[in-house]
Structure 1
Amino acid sequence: MTPASSPPHLPTLILMTALSTLSLNMFLPSLANIATEFDTSYATVSLSIAGYLAVTAVVQLVVGPLSDRIGRRPVVLGTVGIFVAASIGCTLATDIWTFLGFRMLQAAMVAGHAMSMAIVRDTRTERQAAGTLAFISMSMAVAPMLGPMVGGTLDTLFGWRASFWFYTGSGVALLLLCWIDLGETYPRRDRKPGDAPPGRPVDLLRLAPFWGFALCSMSSVGAFYVFLAGAPLVAAETFGISTATLGLFIGSITMGFVCGTFLSTRLSKRFDITTMMLAGRLAACAGLGTGLVILLSGHLHIATYFGATIFVGLGNGLTVPSAYAGALSVRPDLAGTAAGVNGALIVGAGAGLTLVTGALMEATDAPVTLLSIMFGTSFAGLLATLWSRRMRAALQREIPTD
């Protein structure tokens, strides 16, 4: 087979996902220096994060359906090419608005994550996809931890523009790798008279099982967003710990996720995806529920408090890969659309929950409020999982899964 017609190797998919994650957070340590050089406020420079997240949601809604029409390969090559050009633009920017404009264009790289999800489903059965997605998800856990460290080092040694030169070089390398290794995986078929018309995005949105899987993903990842929004306040005002120590606790929830995804790679081939989702939601709810009981009984200790939140990471590692695989399997012919819509919904839910958490934390008992919101969000994921199990039975009677 020629490279353009052969499926990509797993390292290529991992790198596509990792760079889409690094594009968000690697340059965070440089925000203050960027504000100083462009003589603008920190709030204005922060648009490079908030605005970027908003654009990624739109990008995923576009590239998902587009890949179901023209294929995965041209979408990946096109969006990585845009990312490279945008990275060069950021590097050469001489004012804040030029910088922000090119920064928004960098959001095209989020297609790497969405397309890697769709490609996995194109080339694997549902249970195999869940295991592979769990493996890829580990890169999403490691990249956020390493990204700011690399970015901070580059900024210290060479200045903030070095991070964007790093983006440029990484993008070029990934583009070459994808050109060589990323073959088309979308199962195109020659249509014959009388064949059913090709699927449309609206066809997917009308299916209740898709929404069950999507809501589970939104709630599961949403609990992590809640933690990121509220943990710094609890750490500073309640426990009086330093930002360095807080970093260890944030890393602990990430390590919980790594453990959960590792278990998923081993167990997903043996158990149905909804069973994996249920196990993850029960783990998250049990850990947070226990933490709440201890807290409400008058025992406030940093170990038990943040120990409870680790179960969110563990539960997400068990749940999210299977929930993603389920969403992409409802209509395999619309896997690209499902990946894009699911990703956009997760970003939107995360943004909304972050705002709600910030508002509630300032007006109430912060430690109780944080665990309560996390528990409520995780419990919503449990309800979505139970709904998915019920809808899945109906779906299997209509559209057999592999």
Structure 2
Amino acid sequence: MQDARFLDRSTPPKIVTLILIAGLSALTMNIFLPSLPGMATYFGVSYGVMQQSVALYLALSAALQIVIGPISDRYGRRKVLLWSLVLFLLATLGTLLATSATVFLVFRMAQAVIAAGMVLSRAVVRDMVADAQAASMIGYVTMGMSLVPMIGPVIGGVLDDLYGWQANFALLLVLGAVVLALTWADLGETAELRNVSLAEQVRTYPALLASRRFWGYTLAAGFASGCFFAYLGGAPYVGDKVFGLSSTHVGALFALTAIGYALGNFLAGRYSVRMGMNRMILIGCVVTSLGLSLLALLTLAGLSGPTTFFGLTVFMGLGNGICLPNANAGILSVRPELAGTASGLGGAILIGGGAALAALAGVLLGPGSSEMPLVLLMLASSAASVVAILFVIRRARQIGA
């Protein structure tokens, strides 16, 4: 494959372009979270209704990822990304013009088309390099990507306090236009296009679904990130209703998790080739589980508070930052010729599980509840990720991989 030249559509993209594409997808997921309680008041609905803007978004993201991968394998990463960005801009404009919670939720779900950025940024990496190098490069890409959502809730909280919730979506509209222009100018096609129909592409799913390693990597990634999605669904409620924090304060505390994630991504990029994917995934899952176990014990002992609750999520971010680049590389390594399909299918399972956990977090956190139900849900999800990667390691030993 040709060397990447910046702003040259005939060559693969520069890493900075992939970072911004994936970063916009991540930012869309979390920039408005500090605004959720205020948005519920604005539209005259309960927090539980407005919290569905997280769960429904994730659910549609999961559904879209089932087809985004095969479509990109057939028609190319470039075309799919460009059209996704155009549709994202239209959906974002709709959220700004919404006059009711129902209309807002419809356009919020439509924003999920930007999931193509997360799926295809990984697939482009896998097109360019192989296996352990892919894990390393994904680690660096997601490390850079995490810098965007790290400050997203901070900016979102400040914008909410100063100008209202609409300012968050106005910013997404501007950033989406910038990323569209950059993608058009810099992202050359990286996929080896295959002249097969979408139906034929979908028929390759059984080859992936029959692989125990594919399921092991997918479940490890799904449960590891599941605790984070539960956190996304429940932490705004905990910050506002349990601890009485402002939108700005909640947004600033969200950055702690992202700091841990950025550090974990750096470690993944630095050590994945040396230590191997499976070992790095296990380390990441254990780090997350230990951090959440400590949080659960402190909460049970009555020692929890905003500093403890949000501070210990640094370990969740650290563990996920180590685990997820390697788990994603593992998902893509099962059938390299189906990288886009594997990324989309694996992402659909991962995000679908995240949507369920985000919705469950909203159900568990009713009026008068403490943070404990959310902490236990996050811990259970993380513990399941440890079991999943141990299964992969056992299977690898059996087949001599």
Query: Shorter-chain TM-score: which interval?
Result: 0.7 to 0.9
1:360-394 alpha-carbon deviations (Å, 9 max, x no partner): 56699956554443333222111111111233345
Letter in 1 for 2:90: A
Q: Matches of residues 136-151 of structure 1 in structure 2 within 5 Å?
A: 136-151=141-156
Counterpart Cα distance in 2 of 1:45 and 1:33? 10
Name the residue aligned to 2:59: 54
Against the structure 1 CA distance between its residues 33 and 308, is the aligned structure 2 distance closer, same or farther, given a 3 Å change threshold?
A: closer
Q: Specify which of 117, 128, 140 is matched with residue 135 of structure 1.
A: 140
1:222-253 alpha-carbon deviations (Å, 9 max, x no partner): 12233445556666787x56346555554323
Name the residue aligned to 1:78: 83
Counterpart Cα distance in 1 of 2:372 and 2:157? 34
- For the pair shown, which has the larger CA radius of gyration, 1 or 2? 1
Name the residue aligned to 2:316: 312
Name the residue aligned to 1:373: 377
Q: Specify which of 108, 119, 122 is matched with residue 117 of structure 1.
A: 122
**Shift of residue 170 of structure 1?**
2.6
Q: Specify which of 243, 263, 266 is matched with residue 262 of structure 1.
A: 266
Contact 2:157–2:252 (CA under 8 A) maintained in structure 1: no
User: 5+ residue gaps in structure 1?
Assistant: 192-196, 398-402
Contact 2:51–2:362 (CA under 8 A) maintained in structure 1: no
Counterpart Cα distance in 1 of 2:285 and 2:22? 24
Contact 2:220–2:386 (CA under 8 A) maintained in structure 1: yes
Contact 1:122–1:335 (CA under 8 A) maintained in structure 2: yes
Q: Provide TM-score, normalisation by structure 2.
A: 0.81
Counterpart Cα distance in 1 of 2:240 and 2:160? 27
Whether 1:19 aligns to 2:24 is yes
% identity of equivalent residues: 39
**Shift of residue 120 of structure 1?**
0.8
Contact 2:72–2:340 (CA under 8 A) maintained in structure 1: yes
Secondary structure, aligned partner of 2:318: helix
Letter in 1 for 2:338: L
**Shift of residue 111 of structure 1?**
0.5
Contact 1:5–1:184 (CA under 8 A) maintained in structure 2: yes
Name the residue aligned to 1:300: 303
1:137-192 alpha-carbon deviations (Å, 9 max, x no partner): 2345333343344445556777665544443333332222222211111134799x
Q: Specify which of 189, 203, 206 is matched with residue 207 of structure 2.
A: 203
Name the residue aligned to 2:392: 388
Whether 1:336 aligns to 2:336 is no
Against the structure 1 CA distance between its residues 50 and 278, is the aligned structure 2 distance closer, same or farther, given a 3 Å change threshold?
A: closer
**Shift of residue 349 of structure 1?**
1.6
Counterpart Cα distance in 2 of 1:312 and 1:176? 34
Name the residue aligned to 2:184: 179
**Structure 1 stretch displaced more, 154-163 or 204-213:** 154-163
Counterpart Cα distance in 2 of 1:82 and 1:282? 39
Q: Give the aligned length.
A: 390
Counterpart Cα distance in 1 of 2:325 and 2:337? 19
Superposed CA RMSD: 3.8
Counterpart Cα distance in 2 of 1:308 and 1:158? 31
**Structure 1 stretch displaced more, 150-159 or 129-138:** 150-159
1:182-237 alpha-carbon deviations (Å, 9 max, x no partner): 1111134799xxxxx99712321221111100100111111223344555666678
**Shift of residue 106 of structure 1?**
2.3
Whether 1:217 aligns to 2:221 is yes
**Shift of residue 126 of structure 1?**
1.4
Counterpart Cα distance in 1 of 2:41 and 2:365? 31
Counterpart Cα distance in 1 of 2:324 and 2:167? 34
Against the structure 1 CA distance between its residues 294 and 189, is the aligned structure 2 distance closer, same or farther, given a 3 Å change threshold?
A: closer
Q: Matches of residues 223-372 of structure 1 in structure 2 within 5 Å?
A: 223-231=227-235, 240=243, 242-243=245-246, 247=251, 249-292=253-296, 298=301, 300-302=303-305, 308-359=312-363, 366=370, 369-372=373-376
User: 5+ residue gaps in structure 2?
Assistant: none
Contact 1:84–1:168 (CA under 8 A) maintained in structure 2: yes
Contact 1:209–1:395 (CA under 8 A) maintained in structure 2: no
Against the structure 1 CA distance between its residues 372 and 87, is the aligned structure 2 distance closer, same or farther, given a 3 Å change threshold?
A: closer
Counterpart Cα distance in 2 of 1:166 and 1:285? 35
Counterpart Cα distance in 2 of 1:171 and 1:63? 19
Q: Provide TM-score, normalisation by structure 1.
A: 0.81
Contact 2:285–2:323 (CA under 8 A) maintained in structure 1: yes
Secondary structure, aligned partner of 1:13: helix
**Shift of residue 86 of structure 1?**
3.0
Counterpart Cα distance in 2 of 1:289 and 1:30? 29
Contact 1:288–1:308 (CA under 8 A) maintained in structure 2: yes
Name the residue aligned to 1:107: 112
Letter in 1 for 2:303: L
Q: Specify which of 161, 170, 174 is matched with residue 169 of structure 1.
A: 174
Contact 1:278–1:319 (CA under 8 A) maintained in structure 2: yes
Contact 2:55–2:233 (CA under 8 A) maintained in structure 1: no
Contact 1:127–1:269 (CA under 8 A) maintained in structure 2: yes
Counterpart Cα distance in 1 of 2:15 and 2:129? 12
Contact 1:199–1:334 (CA under 8 A) maintained in structure 2: no
